[in-house]
């Protein structure tokens, strides 16, 4: 049986984006099963369907011949072990530990960026981003930390490189952050913007973005700054 990846809406679900991009970019075959958001209440269709797959009732989840793995970082680790030839983590032990560290930091941190700038690939909200940048010190601190992290890692790579040279789990983990910075027009230095552009140009990321733009959904609870979708 092929691997099956259960995801939510591509426009909004940053956690779903991470393993999907990882597998697509690495060429790992899988079947996509999308369960679109309606509500996160216990009696919602989304919650009931996902809870039948994994006990926490959240996406993403990976099924390997019926065996469920949930949480994006656990899925990434499982895939790295299942497909060692894909080099999903760096080969060097120090670089591998650093990659794990920055992924764990992303996994548990950057709360202000998450809360104030929810992923919304279809939207363009630079005016909202300007106000948030002015008023939210936590957001500025989160972007400063990202800038310092990426700058340090990229300094050890070729000018056109990714965080650890070749594509790794770390780049997949930060791909949704790259879309957030673009959506809200958050200010970053030139080298960081160049990295963002490289990530957004990866075929796996482009494929996710194209699918997100084709959804045409408007989920009100995921859209705090708009009353409706953009005109097309």
Residue ranges and CATH numbers for the domains of the chain are 3-86 (3.40.30.10), 93-215 (1.20.1050.10)
Mean pLDDT of 204-220: 93
Q: What is the pLDDT of residues 116-144, one digit of tens each?
A: 999 999 999 999 999 999 999 999 999 99
Tokens at 104, concatenated: 């764990």
Mean pLDDT of 197-218: 96
Q: Is 4 helix (H, G, I), strand (E, B) or coil?
A: strand
Exposed/middle/buried for residue 17 (C-beta within 10 Å: 0-12, 13-18, 19+): buried
**How large a percentage of the chain has pLDDT more than 90?**
85
Position 229 pLDDT exceeds 90: no
Residue with tokens 């956690």: 15
Mean pLDDT of 195-215: 97
Exposed/middle/buried for residue 60 (C-beta within 10 Å: 0-12, 13-18, 19+): buried
Q: Output the pLDDT for position 134.
A: 98
Q: Output the pLDDT for position 40.
A: 79
Q: Output the pLDDT for position 45.
A: 87
Cα of first residue to Cα of last residue in the chain, in angstroms, is 40
Q: What is the pLDDT of residues 43-63, one digit of tens each?
A: 888 899 989 999 999 999 999
pLDDT category at 220 given cuts 50, 70, 90 is confident
Determine contact, residues 70/6, Cβ cutoff 8 Å.
no
Q: Output the pLDDT for position 227.
A: 79
pLDDT category at 230 given cuts 50, 70, 90 is low
Q: Is 66 helix (H, G, I), strand (E, B) or coil?
A: coil
Determine contact, residues 126/187, Cβ cutoff 8 Å.
no
Tokens at 55, concatenated: 């006990």
Mean pLDDT taken over the chain: 94
Return the higher-pLDDT residue of 69 and 217: 69
Determine contact, residues 147/194, Cβ cutoff 8 Å.
no
Tokens at 2, concatenated: 């092929």
Q: Output the pLDDT for position 232.
A: 47
Mean pLDDT of 90-116: 97
Q: What is the pLDDT of residues 6-53, one digit of tens each?
A: 999 999 999 999 999 999 999 999 999 999 888 778 888 889 998 999
Position 83 pLDDT exceeds 70: yes
Q: Is 19 helix (H, G, I), strand (E, B) or coil?
A: helix
β-strands 61-64, 67-70 pairing: antiparallel
Return the higher-pLDDT residue of 184 and 44: 184
Tell me how far apart the alpha carbons of residues 198 and 49 are, in angstroms, rounded to a whole number: 36
């Amino acid at each position: 049986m092929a691997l099956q990846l259960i995801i939510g809406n591509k426009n909004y679900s940053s956690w779903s984006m991470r393993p999907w991009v990882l597998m697509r970019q690495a060429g790992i075959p899988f079947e996509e099963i999308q369960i679109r958001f309606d509500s996160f209440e216990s009696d919602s269709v989304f919650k009931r369907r996902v809870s039948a797959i994994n006990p926490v009732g959240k996406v993403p989840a990976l099924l390997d011949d019926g065996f469920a793995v949930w949480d994006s970082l656990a899925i990434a680790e499982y895939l790295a072990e299942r497909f060692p030839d894909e080099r999903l983590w760096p080969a060097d032990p120090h670089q591998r530990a650093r990659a794990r560290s920055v992924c764990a930091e992303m996994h548990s941190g950057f709360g202000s960026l998450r809360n104030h700038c929810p992923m919304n690939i279809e939207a363009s909200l630079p005016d909202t981003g300007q106000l948030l940048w002015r008023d939210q010190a936590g957001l500025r601190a989160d972007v400063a930390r990202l800038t310092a992290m990426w700058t340090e890692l990229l300094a050890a790579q070729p000018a056109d490189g990714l965080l650890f040279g070749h594509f790794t789990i770390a780049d997949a983990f930060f791909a949704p952050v790259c879309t957030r910075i673009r959506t809200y027009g958050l200010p970053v230095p030139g080298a960081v913007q160049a990295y963002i552009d490289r990530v957004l140009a990866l075929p796996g990321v482009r494929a996710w973005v194209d699918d997100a733009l084709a959804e045409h959904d408007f989920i009100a609870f995921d859209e705090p700054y708009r009353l409706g979708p953009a005109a097309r």
